[in-house]
Amino acid sequence: MSKVAWYRAAVIAGVVALLEALCLAGVIDKITMPAPHVIARDLWRMLVSGRMNAAIAKTLGNTVLALGLALGVGIIAAALLHRARAVRDTLDPLFATYYAVPVFAFYPFFIVVFGLGDLPQILIAFMLGVVAVIVNTLNGLDRVPNVLLKTARILRLSPADTALRMTLPYAGPYVLTGVKLAVAYAFIGVIGSEFIMSRGGIGYEISFAYANFDNATMYPLIVLILLASVAVNGLLGVWEQRLLARRGLR
Amino acid sequence: MTGRPPAPLHAVGPIDLDIRPGEFFAVVGPSGCGKSTLLELIAGLTPATEGRIEFEGAPVAGEAPDGIGVVFQEDASLAWLDVAGNVAFGLRRSALTAEERQRRVRDALKLVGLSDFATSYPAQLSGGMRQRVCIARTLVMQPRLILLDEPFGALDQQTRLLMGDELLRLWRETAATVFLITHALDEATMLADRIGVMSARPGRIIDVVETGWPRERDSRIVERAEFGNITARLWHTLRAESMKSIRS
Amino acid sequence: MSARFAGLRNGLTLVVGLLLLWQILYLWTGDVALASPLATFRYTARLFATESFGAQVYETLRAFSIAYAISVVMGLGIGFWLGFDRLSGDALEPMIVSVYAIPKLTLYPILLLAFGLGLAAKVAFGVIHGVIPIILFTLAAVHNTKPILVKTGRVLRLSRWQMIRWILFPAAIPEIFTGLRVGFALTLIGSLLAEMFASQRGLGYLLMNGIGLHNVELIMSVTLVIVVFAATVSVVLLHIDRRLHGRV
């Protein structure tokens, strides 16, 4: 293992060990947080019993839905905006300040309009992710060098062919950056909304467990989300690295 | 061909030029004189405002005609395809069988000396090799006219000389007509049968120099006495034009 | 000058467009779900006239400012450390990036258990949101220092401190500022989210209160205040950010 890998392993092990020690010593009391090994055990039991499966499925389903929407709408919107300079320039301040505005502030509004179902969550998650996709896709489209577009014309490619075989592959890595962000945001949007106000899903279960002082459920769920988020992000990151390495960009 | 491209500012012209089949024609001129515009006019990438451009008897306008290949100065290799994929990309629209395509790709790679790198990616290659990939992609379509817009501009001097040798060899082996734009006078003198000298913007051809070199030539031609004379003549014409260009 | 005018015009068009969209949505959904822009503005004006609203705003701003101050100090400190200490930087940066992607709302119960209800929890939540971009951008700023700048400093025989003060830090400012700008936005989001449900004070609390009472005008007014504040500060910071980057 490389030095860097050792370092990381040491940091993680150190933090877990520290928490374990503090818990066992009673510095962190059981009501605040159970010891790491207890959390691990409870997580295992919870997964094995399958009682969270419905919640997990719900959260996962909504996340994927929101992600699909964000990607679909985002990429198409970016492709259209790229050709409509005036509209793009007008929307530019919106995109630039978008992530400064707490999108969650619109959640109450969505609940009032659409009721307390899945739609408000999906909308929030979609709203969070779509601009990241648009901005990054536009960035990729901007960067397609003129020489490649000229080459496409010399090779007499049709507009569709040019878009699919020149522009899209070239912009790929930048679109992927947007995808990574959209995945994270979809997750954050859905779980956050479930947490604030919802009738089901993992976020709701955490909120419910918290209200009922049920640490045996709450902490394992939190750890589950942490692990899932890190894993998905990590996998996307590895894919991104491979893609960029092949192109000599990293 | 005769022509002027559309621009509120006249970029080029008027120009009256005839390129003979099978010859190697180079164009030199001060920066900004419209050399690239001229090339894009011939390639059909830019329409002319006035005049006519003809290739093999048919007019050129708006679309790149069949039978013309172009190599640009910037790296136009496709980073996401390997070398073989890059070269094969040129055959996308052709009605060849898969076998035919593979054969042509192999031949093109052999012509430019990249057979050993068929599965490498452009990112793993040097600048000169990437330019050769672009040349191979052009050659695979077996064009009758090859346009090169300062193809070696981004390379160092030694590589440029060697690439010049390569280009001459390819010219002989494919028997194509070659139209090369360069700002390097020695490069033009070494490579071309005839050299067109462009004035400062709006660029017109103010002189055409015949080098009279034999077809079988390489970079060692620089050792000949006439080489110095020709280059001197080019510079003599260009010096005044270049100063105009710098001032504007 | 015309560029600035165009920017202003675009901004105004956008605002007008959004207001129109709002009005149309209101006409579509009716009073049960939305308040019209006009009604919302009136309600907001009335809110500001009441004394208790001022107290809520102050509460939010207080929590946010403390959180931001801590985020900046921690962020810069850790960012510089990781920037200069290559091993730590390489090892920990991906881990910090992972934290960025975690739905931090799920950590909220832990923070509540650790800090109890109230200001400390709000600040903690704001900090975990805001400190991350500041760390990452500061780290990147140090890593991206052009080697030529360091060489220049050494050729000028500057001491380490002088180099940092006169060359390295000024060069890093644009990127650090971007981190501070993003950190500002995220800290605000974090502390607002914290207020939304386990605080009895502040704008976030008012928002949830509005939902509970189904007071549509209240919900919209508070949302409006938050959005206008966040957007305005963001635009100002963005403007500064662009000028800093244009400078370099």
C208 touches chain A (CB under 8 A): yes
Question: How many angstroms separate the CA of residue A217 from the nearest CA in chain C?
Answer: 12
- Cβ distance B80 to A145 less than 8 Å, yes or no, reads no
Q: What are the boundaries of each domain within chain C?
A: 50-247
What total number of domains does chain A contain? 2
Q: What is the pLDDT of residues C94-125, one digit of tens each?
A: 899 888 888 888 888 888 888 888 888 899 99
* pLDDT score at B7: 47
pLDDT band at A164 (very low <50, low <70, confident <90, very high): confident
* pLDDT score at C77: 92
Instruction: Write out the residue range of the structural domain in which residue A170 sits.
Output: 35-246
Percent of chain C whose pLDDT exceeds 90? 23
- Cβ distance A230 to C210 less than 8 Å, yes or no, reads no
Q: Are residues A193 and A173 in the same domain?
A: yes
- Cβ distance A229 to C88 less than 8 Å, yes or no, reads no
* pLDDT score at A104: 80
Query: CATH homologous superfamily for B2-67+143-247?
Result: P-loop containing nucleotide triphosphate hydrolases (3.40.50.300)
Q: What is the pLDDT of residues C175-232, one digit of tens each?
A: 999 999 999 999 998 888 888 876 788 888 888 888 778 888 888 888 889 888 988 8
- Cβ distance C208 to A31 less than 8 Å, yes or no, reads no
User: At B229, phi and psi to the nearest 5?
Assistant: -60, -45
Q: Are residues A212 and A152 in the same domain?
A: yes
* pLDDT score at B130: 92
- Cβ distance B63 to A147 less than 8 Å, yes or no, reads no
* This prediction's pTM: 0.82
A241 touches chain B (CB under 8 A): no
More confident residue, C133 or C147: C133
The amino acid at residue B149 is D
Q: Are residues A190 and A242 in the same domain?
A: yes
Q: Are residues A47 and A132 in the same domain?
A: yes
Q: Are residues A176 and A233 in the same domain?
A: yes
* pLDDT score at C139: 92
Strands B205-210 and B194-198, bridge-based pairing: antiparallel
B62 touches chain A (CB under 8 A): no
Return d(Cα B32, Cα B16) in angstroms, integer: 19
C in contact with B (at least 3 C-beta pairs within 8 A): no
| Partners of residue B70 in chain A, C-beta under 8 Å | 150-151, 154
- Is the pLDDT at C248 greater than 50? The verdict is no
A248 touches chain B (CB under 8 A): yes
- Is the pLDDT at C137 greater than 70? The verdict is yes
Contact A205, C70 (CB under 8 A): no
Q: What are the boundaries of each domain within chain B?
A: 2-67+143-247, 78-141
Kindly state the DSSP code that residue C166 receives in the 8-state scheme. I
The rounded Cα B230 to chain-centroid distance in angstroms is: 20
Contact A127, A103 (CB under 8 A): yes
Question: Which among A147, A154, A166 is the nearest to B43, CB-wise?
Answer: A154
Task: Choose, out of C102, C104, C187, the residue to mutate when testing the contact with A (most A CBs < 10 Å).
Answer: C102
Q: Are residues A44 and A25 in the same domain?
A: no
Chain A's closest residue to C96, CA to CA, is A230
Spans of chain B, pLDDT less than 70: 1-10, 248
| Partners of residue A88 in chain C, C-beta under 8 Å | none
Dump the DSSP string for C124-148. Answer: HHHHHHHHHHHHHHHHHHHHT--HH
Question: How many angstroms separate the CA of residue B39 from the nearest CA in chain A?
Answer: 12
Q: Which of B181, C103, B149, C71 is nearest to A222 (CA)?
A: C103
Return d(Cα A127, Cα A132) in angstroms, integer: 9
Question: Which among C10, C11, C102 is the nearest to A226, CB-wise?
Answer: C102
Q: Which of B180, B176, B173, B124 is nearest to B151 (CA)?
A: B180
* pLDDT score at A89: 87
Q: Which of A98, A81, A88, A89 is nearest to C9 (CA)?
A: A89
Domain C50-247 has CATH 1.10.3720.10: yes
Strands B145-149 and B68-71, bridge-based pairing: parallel
Q: Are residues A111 and A3 in the same domain?
A: no
